Structure 1
């Protein structure tokens, strides 16, 4: 326990020095508030060391880091119950998992045998979705009130009080609508990550509900509970506390991929074996999700977490969507403007119907992050970058001569403007570039003490 507390103290100190990251955008342009537009027009972004001239280009400024208090424990005393709204009962038929089931115990995946995708591309279907069935249609054109949102959440979260189950809360990340803490599970003595989302600050709450392949509505953030995979961060439970949704999940002590892209002096440091290793793990997760009709919609280095052993997992499912009907015979296209500007695909920005192909474009941009240290147009303001992505040919590497033809070919299969010509996750898993992928241990050299738990972990 003392060792865990010392580690938490180091993580808290590193968090206090972190730099701001671009926040995801959710909603159509016509629904953007003046404050949203002001953010997009004036947002300044910094990556890497503040002293590195490479990271301080046009329109970039260094923001003073938010200094937090000395290492402290956060405790809460009373669970405030949100009253049941009987008026809304007529709207909902609820199917939920048994809340008495203890999902807090961390599972230990067996990584000794590498996960191999079946040759026919068929992957086992996930079961027991956390769903909310409603007689009234919820879609991108329906405004969902806070009252409706809270009522729906009450039906799928555990009724237990998480403040009696976890202690020693230490903040390690902060986003526009959520904070992330490390805490210790009192029963098992293990560390967990707890994402605390302020539900009153969620943009367009109706977009956080998704119709699944059975015609029922699920809450996007619950996707981790229902889709189990060795390369997806495991969710242990969810709770409503005051006006916050708490999501308890697996803690990965290696931090986000973002922290491994460049050295403290701003130099890129990932070699092609390491890039292939990350891509292979992410593609396994995407192949699994896409086969179940789920798109992630926010693939970027911030959404990729690592353990100190070098295992790679996909996180941040707050913006995922279901895109397959009950018989898996027809794809349901989406049109919502969702994601983080620099990683968005052209079809998302232009608001043309899209499906799983958007994740492959974003993966390509993430590959460019690993090569160049940042995504294309990162020195541009978000709206300018979005216009360039929408109107111009696919972006190019800064120094393509430094990369192999195999890596360039892999990237070229991702960054295709026509979604119908873009590779699928299963296609890319067979690409020759991924034959260079190594064991997780090849990523351990990047995971020094300076990078552990640094950055916006688990935060959207």
Structure 2
């Protein structure tokens, strides 16, 4: 068992790994070991990194922790503890049940037990929109919105995670990492202008949200919203997340 500050940390099982790190399920105890909570702990451990890339990847990981730990919103995964002062930094965050990607995969099986209703899909979408709206209000661009980074929790909430490509519009220091960030991400959710080398904007996040709407396979009532999110020309998309929420609320008023 590992001691960290006023806590003890016990690793329970390995949950998986991504390009830049590994994730374990852990128990965090208070100093007297009279109370424990289960969390997920992510370590910086890049799978493919040349010596020249390593420090840049590490800086991105530090930014991910710093920005995510400063976000307090019901639809953003909360960072509870972190340690940046070591060679292999880590952070501890809320433990999710599954990702939206997992949920959609089960939904595709067409088994009644896992079938999502249109109402449930709208709820999920509004949860995600609320989280992205919060980030934009803080001058953050997520830049990697996709079902794998939308997590479902025991209380039914859906929260946005994985801040590895996040950009702070007020931090000039992120400019040094912009080129790296532009070539990362998942092509399916990457706006056309980004693939063509343009700067990432709010409209680029909105494009990714439009693709998530497509993944949710909502009925035709949201077709116009999906179309406006995914126009090839950024200027034709929604100006902000509030406009999308307003249009969905209007449709809900006529019982979508």
With the shorter chain as reference, the TM-score category is 0.7 to 0.9
Compared with structure 1, are the counterparts of its residues 272 and 436 closer, same or farther at alpha carbon in structure 2 (3 Å cutoff)?
farther
Alignment match, 2:14: 171
Alignment match, 1:428: 244
1:280 match: secondary structure: helix
Structure 1: distance between partners of 2:212 and 2:102: 13
Structure 1 residues 328-343: aligned runs within 5 Å: 336-343=182-189
**1:29-57 CA distance string (max 9 Å, x none):** xxxxxxxxxxxxxxxxxxxxxxxxxxxxx
Q: Supply the RMSD in Å over aligned alpha carbons.
A: 3.0
Answer yes or no: is the 8 Å Cα contact 1:304–1:315 preserved in 2: yes
Unaligned runs of 5+ in 2: 173-177
1:182 match: secondary structure: strand
The CA deviation at 1:161 is 3.9
Structure 1 residues 298-447: aligned runs within 5 Å: 298-324=144-170, 336-371=182-217, 403-404=219-220, 406-423=221-238, 424-432=240-248, 436=252
Compared with structure 1, are the counterparts of its residues 241 and 207 closer, same or farther at alpha carbon in structure 2 (3 Å cutoff)?
closer
Tell me the matched-pair count: 234
Structure 2: distance between partners of 1:436 and 1:256: 25
Structure 1: distance between partners of 2:46 and 2:184: 18
1:354 match: secondary structure: coil
The CA deviation at 1:427 is 0.8
Alignment match, 1:183: 26
Alignment match, 1:296: 142
Structure 2: distance between partners of 1:237 and 1:185: 10
Instruction: Name the structure with the higher strand share.
Output: 2
2:89 match: secondary structure: strand
TM-score (norm. length: structure 1): 0.46
Compared with structure 1, are the counterparts of its residues 403 and 421 closer, same or farther at alpha carbon in structure 2 (3 Å cutoff)?
same
1:193 and 2:40 aligned: yes
The CA deviation at 1:242 is 6.0
Structure 1: distance between partners of 2:235 and 2:56: 28
The CA deviation at 1:220 is 3.0
Alignment match, 1:455: none
**1:46-71 CA distance string (max 9 Å, x none):** xxxxxxxxxxxxxxxxxxxxxxxxxx
Structure 1 residues 132-281: aligned runs within 5 Å: 161=4, 165-187=8-30, 188-198=35-45, 201=48, 204=53, 205-206=55-56, 219-240=63-84, 243-252=87-96, 254-263=97-106, 266-267=109-110, 269-281=115-127
Unaligned runs of 5+ in 1: 1-74, 77-159, 211-217, 327-333, 372-401, 438-460
**1:287-337 CA distance string (max 9 Å, x none):** 1111221100110001011112311111101110012479xxxxxxx6622
Answer yes or no: is the 8 Å Cα contact 2:22–2:44 preserved in 1: yes
Answer yes or no: is the 8 Å Cα contact 1:208–1:221 preserved in 2: no
Structure 1: distance between partners of 2:171 and 2:67: 17
Compared with structure 1, are the counterparts of its residues 208 and 183 closer, same or farther at alpha carbon in structure 2 (3 Å cutoff)?
closer
Structure 2: distance between partners of 1:263 and 1:370: 12
Alignment match, 1:48: none
2:36 match: secondary structure: coil
Structure 1: distance between partners of 2:251 and 2:108: 31
TM-score (norm. length: structure 2): 0.80
Compared with structure 1, are the counterparts of its residues 202 and 297 closer, same or farther at alpha carbon in structure 2 (3 Å cutoff)?
farther
1:281 match: secondary structure: helix
The CA deviation at 1:264 is 7.7
**1:111-130 CA distance string (max 9 Å, x none):** xxxxxxxxxxxxxxxxxxxx
The structure number with the bigger radius of gyration is 1
1:244 match: secondary structure: coil
